[in-house]
C-alpha cells in the first residue's frame, strides 16, 4: 500500500478553496457555481454576500466561520480542523472565501495546512474586490494615459496580521495606482505615511464600500482631505481604497456601472 492508498482510505472527500468574488452573484465563476450547487458542506467567511450564499445546495451543511475585525466566529486553527474533519466523510467540502482566496484571504495558509494533513485540495480563484469594486465605481486601475502600474497592499499590517510590514515610502514611489485592502481603520496613518514619503496631498483617492453589491457606496477626495471626509460622513469598512490619477475617470465612467 502506498501513501496515496492511505490518503484515499482516510478521506472520502476533497476541499475546494473557492473564491466567492466581491458580492455580485454574476461575478461568481461557472466552476464555483457548480461546486456550490453540489456541495455537501460549505464553510464560509463573513464577507460572502447573501446572494452568493443563496446559490448553495439547500441540502448542504452550512457553517459560518466569519471573521470581522475583532469578532471571530471560528479561530483559524479551528477552521482548518473542521475542514479536515468534514473531508473525512463528505465528498465535496467547499471553503468559501470573499473575493479571491489567495489575495489577503489566508488561502495560501489554509491550503498548506490541508496539504500537510494529506487532504486533497484545489483552489478555485475568484474575482478580487481590489479589481471589481473600483471597476463598478468607474475606475480602471490602469489606463494608457494615466497609469501603467498597480500595487495591491494591505492596510491592516500594523495590527500584525501581515508581514513583513508594509514599506509605505516605497509604495508611494513604486507605482502609479495603489489599491489598499482593509485600509479604512488605519487610513489616517496610511495617508500620513504616503504623503510624508512625497505623494502629493492633491492626489485623488476613492473609497469603495460594499463594492459590486446593491448598496455600494463611494467617497471621492484627495489625499489631503479624505481623512476629514471619512470622519464627517462616517464612511466605514469594508472598503477598497484606490489612489492615483485613474480615480479622476470616476466622474466620466461611474454612470456605466454594470446592472
Ligand atoms: C480579508 S480581506 C479579503 C479580500 C478578499 N480575499 C478579496 O480578494 O477581495 C477583506 C477586505 O477586502 C476588501 N473587500 C472585500 N469585499 C469587498 C467589497 N465587496 N467591497 C469593498 N471592499 C471589499 C475590504 O478592504 C475588506 O476589508
Q: Do the domain assignments include residue 27? A: yes
Residue 6 lies in a domain: no
Task: Count CA atoms within 13 Å of residue 80 on its CB side.
Answer: 16
Residues 6 or more apart whose Cβ sits within 8 Å of residue 211: 22, 23, 129, 132, 133, 134, 136, 137, 239, 240
Q: Please tell me whether residues 85 and 169 are part of one structural domain.
A: no
Q: The domain spanning residue 221 has which CATH number? A: 3.30.950.10
Tell me the CA–centroid distance for residue 204 and ligand 1, in Å.
21
| Domain, as residue range, for 153 | 130-256
- Is the same domain home to 197 and 114? no
| DSSP state at residue 21 | B
Q: pLDDT tens track of the chain, all 259 residues?
A: 344 444 445 668 999 999 999 999 999 999 999 999 999 999 999 999 999 999 999 999 999 997 554 555 677 788 899 999 999 999 999 999 999 999 999 999 999 999 999 999 999 999 999 999 999 999 999 999 999 999 999 998 754 555 558 999 999 999 999 999 999 999 999 999 999 999 999 999 999 999 999 999 999 999 999 999 999 999 999 999 999 999 999 999 998 876 6
Q: Which three cell numbers stand for residue 144?
A: 494608457
Of 127, 144, 160, the one marking the end of a domain is 127
Which of these three, 127, 160, 177, is where a domain ends? 127
Q: Do the domain assignments include residue 52?
A: yes
**Ligand 1 pocket check: which of 24, 70, 99, 139 to mutate, most ligand atoms within 8 Å of Cβ?**
99
Assigned domain for 3 exists: no
Structural domain contains residue 233: yes
Residues 113 and 86 in one domain: yes
* Residue 192 included in any domain: yes
**End of a domain among 127, 143, 169?**
127
Q: Is 186 in the pocket of ligand 1 (CB under 6 A)?
A: no
Question: How many domains, the chain?
Answer: 2
Q: 146 and 99, same structural domain?
A: no
Is residue 174 situated within a structural domain? yes
Same domain, 142 and 221: yes
Domain co-membership, 147 together with 224:
yes
Same domain flag for 168 and 219? yes
pTM above 0.85, yes or no: yes
Whether residue 110 contacts residue 95, with contact meaning beta carbons closer than 8 Å, is answered with: yes
Establish whether 55 is a catalytic residue.
no
C-alpha distances out from residue 204 to 77, 201, 230, Å: 40, 8, 14
CATH of the domain at 58: 3.40.1010.10
Residue of 28, 55, 111, 182 marked catalytic: 182
151 and 245 in one domain? yes
Both 18 and 67 in a single domain? yes
Specify if 7 maps to a domain.
Answer: no
Cα dihedral across residues 67, 72, 74, 77: positive or negative: positive
For 2, the 3-state DSSP assignment is coil
57 and 92 belong to one structural domain: yes
Q: Is 182 a catalytic residue?
A: yes
Question: Within the chain, where are the H helices?
Answer: 3-10, 30-38, 50-53, 76-89, 107-116, 129-136, 168-174, 187-196, 226-233, 250-253
Specify whether 96 is located in the same domain as 200.
no
Q: What is the pLDDT of residue 76?
A: 77
| Distance in angstroms (rounded) separating the CA atoms of residues 241 and 60 | 36
Residue 98 sits in the same domain as residue 160: no
* Ligand 1 in reach of 240 Cβ (< 6 A): yes
CA–CA separation, 218 vs 206, rounded Å? 7
Amino acid at each position: 500500500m502506498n501513501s496515496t492508498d492511505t490518503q484515499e482510505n482516510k478521506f472520502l472527500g476533497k476541499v475546494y478553496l473557492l473564491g466567492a468574488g466581491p458580492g455580485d452573484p454574476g461575478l461568481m465563476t461557472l466552476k464555483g457555481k457548480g461546486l456550490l450547487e453540489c456541495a455537501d458542506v460549505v464553510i464560509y467567511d463573513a464577507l460572502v454576500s447573501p446572494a452568493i450564499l443563496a446559490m448553495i445546495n439547500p441540502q448542504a451543511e452550512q457553517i459560518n466561520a466569519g471573521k470581522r475585525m475583532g469578532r471571530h466566529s471560528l479561530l483559524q486553527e479551528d477552521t482548518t480542523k473542521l475542514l479536515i474533519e468534514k473531508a473525512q466523510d463528505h465528498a465535496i467540502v467547499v471553503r468559501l472565501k470573499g473575493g479571491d482566496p489567495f489575495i489577503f484571504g489566508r488561502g495560501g495558509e489554509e491550503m498548506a495546512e490541508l496539504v500537510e494533513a494529506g487532504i486533497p485540495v484545489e483552489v478555485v480563484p475568484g474575482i478580487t474586490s481590489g479589481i471589481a469594486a473600483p471597476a463598478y465605481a468607474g475606475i480602471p486601475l490602469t489606463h494608457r494615459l494615466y497609469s501603467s502600474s498597480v500595487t495591491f497592499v494591505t492596510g491592516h499590517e500594523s495590527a500584525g496580521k501581515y508581514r513583513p510590514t508594509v514599506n509605505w515610502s516605497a509604495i508611494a514611489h513604486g507605482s502609479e495606482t495603489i489599491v489598499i485592502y482593509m485600509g479604512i481603520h488605519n487610513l489616517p496613518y496610511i495617508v500620513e505615511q504616503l504623503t510624508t514619503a512625497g505623494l502629493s496631498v492633491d492626489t485623488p483617492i476613492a473609497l469603495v464600500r460594499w463594492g459590486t453589491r446593491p448598496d455600494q457606496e463611494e467617497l471621492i477626495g484627495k489625499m489631503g482631505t479624505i481623512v476629514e471626509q471619512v470622519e464627517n460622513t462616517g464612511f466605514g469598512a469594508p472598503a477598497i481604497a484606490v489612489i492615483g490619477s485613474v480615480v479622476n475617470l470616476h466622474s466620466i465612467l461611474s454612470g456605466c456601472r454594470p446592472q
